[in-house]
Amino acid sequence: MKPQGMIAILTDSDGRVQATKADFDHQSYGGLKLREAQLNRARDGLGMEFIRRVASHAVFRNIDHFEANQIIDRLVVREGWKVTTEGVGYDE
């Protein structure tokens, strides 16, 4: 069986990669298809990965997933950043 997963990539307005998060967990939840569950986890984890890279340890410890994803959403809307997702091992 080949690996299947999803990767979320955050790029800034110049196209530079600022953070990535992958999910290859083979567990789904809430009636979602595996690919959808992996996409949700990768996208959700992207915000925390970005904060971990750019903020102090104290700030990282005090931001939750919701807040981190709000920051990502603001960067996309206000600064022209982009979130791209790619499937790995899925037949398109």
pLDDT digits (tens, 9 = 90+) for 35-75: 999 999 999 999 999 999 999 999 999 999 999 999 999 99
**Six-digit token string for 22:** 């992958």
Closest CA to 50 of 24, 27, 25, 76: 76
User: Is 7 a residue whose pLDDT tops 70?
Assistant: yes
**Sheet with 17-23: strands ordered across:** 17-23, 5-11, 82-88
Domain range spanning residue 18? Answer: 5-88
Total number of domains constituting the chain: 1
- Whole-number Å distance between alpha carbons of 74 and 47: 11
Instruction: State pTM to two decimals.
Output: 0.89
